[in-house]
Copies of this chain bind each other. A is one copy, B any other.
């Protein structure tokens, strides 16, 4: 008997005809039926073979070009490009083995204090593409709410959030395997407030929190602000936080909470396999510790159904699930949410002292946007786009970055993690990039122990223009320059 969420998950993720054609051709390329440099069948031949219209075949070819799998040569046809898969993944992290204070605020501030009139090309920020047609209805709904504004829109909403929005959040959470009642949800001012409330609900200053590593700098800074210590756990770029290392850590240290981003991890891109998510939950049960699960990128799945959350295995309320609409609809709305499990009462108090009720009208607008089906349409549109752009961005990094760079391969979201050769210091690289009006997110932000200095995070949400390619080329070039400088100086020292 299918459960509620399984039924809900059916019927989403259906491919259009051209996507099917593109998938067929992609499969043939990946299986070597068409090899690098081969000329592909003509559009006409594809139409006949697969029984589709010319425009469908053209669209499929366009998609493969966008994914940098093939190229069109004038008057010659379509050709398979050098195959980029498999690329080298970043290495498994080996952070410090003891709880540490977090620092790096200056670097984080430089990244987040950027302005709207910033002239730099910001390649590293966690901002989605906002110039998409599927977002337009949200502006319309907001304008309509303000036109018809009665006193309610300027008044406080419920402390826990608008009932309409909490209902929609509960409905959407079914897709990740969660059966939440609207009263299990607290609306917050962005996911950052959800994470902040979750950590303050569970901890006292001086407490130790186990985190995946690298870990989102926003959470790391919450640890710093609350006088908490980060215990960074080795993390695999394919399967996530090491359960073996975490178990040892739980035996050794008085860990108050485990904070992870197990789906489309920021920044490392992996998704923990379902079995490992379940095992992580069981580990937390065994040691009676709470889990803070950041799922802010979880809705941006390239294929359906989207992965389950750890929260979906939660039978005793120990998982505090943090999410929101910042990475799907826009961070400027500041609409996030927290499902605090059995910690609801304390979390509600923390919410009250933090900001009181959240702003009323953005909640009503998002609720209407979701209720009318715009949200799921929007997700399909942007996820397709992000998947295509991931492949393009990876092809650029492979082309322009030093040989041997590790590159993540996310199945959702819009963030790429690149591990350069060990001699490149990305904080210094960023300083040099400033002269070219380019900014990346240096890896050091994502660690309390000064790891990941040779890593950086790139954003591929925005339309990938030639100027963007040029910028990525510049990043790679300056990185190579730094590498040769280091090698020359080490030769000179010998």
Report A's interface with B, CB cutoff 8 A. Answer: 105, 108-109, 112-113, 115-116, 127, 130-131, 135, 138-140, 142-144, 146-147, 149, 151-160, 188-190, 192-193, 196, 200, 204-205, 218, 221-222, 224-227, 329-334, 348-350, 352-362
Contacts and interface: CB of A to CB of B under 8 A. Distances in A.
A358 B331 contact: no
Contacts of A192: 352-356
Given A151-B130, A359-B362, A221 B349 contact: yes
A439 to B, nearest CB: 14
Contact of A112 (B130, B154, B159, B200): B159
Given A146-B143, A147-B143, A157-B332, A356 B225 contact: no
Contact of A127 (B155, B196, B358): B155
7 contacts: A112-B159, A138-B154, A155-B332, A156-B332, A193-B355, A196-B353, A222-B353
B159 A113 contact: yes
Contacts of A160: 113
Main secondary structure of the interface of A (DSSP, over half): helix
A349 B135 CA distance: 31
Contacts of A356: 112, 190, 192, 218, 331, 334
B116 A155 contact: yes
Q: Chain copies in the assembly?
A: 2
A255 B149 CA distance: 46
B354 A196 contact: yes
Q: Shortest 3 CB-CB distances between A and B: which pairs?
A: A154-B330, A332-B360, A143-B146
Contacts of A204: 205, 227
Contacts of A144: 143
Nearest to A363: B332
A152 B160 CA distance: 28
A246 B391 CA distance: 66
A455 to B, nearest CB: 22
A222 B355 CA distance: 10
Given A113-B158, A149-B139, A189 B352 contact: no
Nearest to A139: B149
A86 to B, nearest CB: 35
Nearest to A205: B205
Contacts of A353: 192, 196, 218, 221-222, 224-226
Contacts of A358: 189, 334
Given A154-B332, A204-B205, A225-B350, 12 more contacts: A109-B352, A113-B160, A115-B158, A143-B147, A154-B331, A157-B332, A189-B359, A200-B225, A218-B356, A225-B353, A332-B357, A333-B360
Contact of A155 (B130, B156, B359): B130
A133 to B, nearest CB: 12
A154 B225 contact: no
B157 A116 contact: yes
Contacts of A105: 349
B352 A354 contact: no
B131 A151 contact: yes
Given A225-B350, A356-B112, A127 B139 contact: no
A443 to B, nearest CB: 20
B352 A355 contact: no
Nearest to A129: B151
Contacts of A221: 349, 352-353
A33 to B, nearest CB: 42
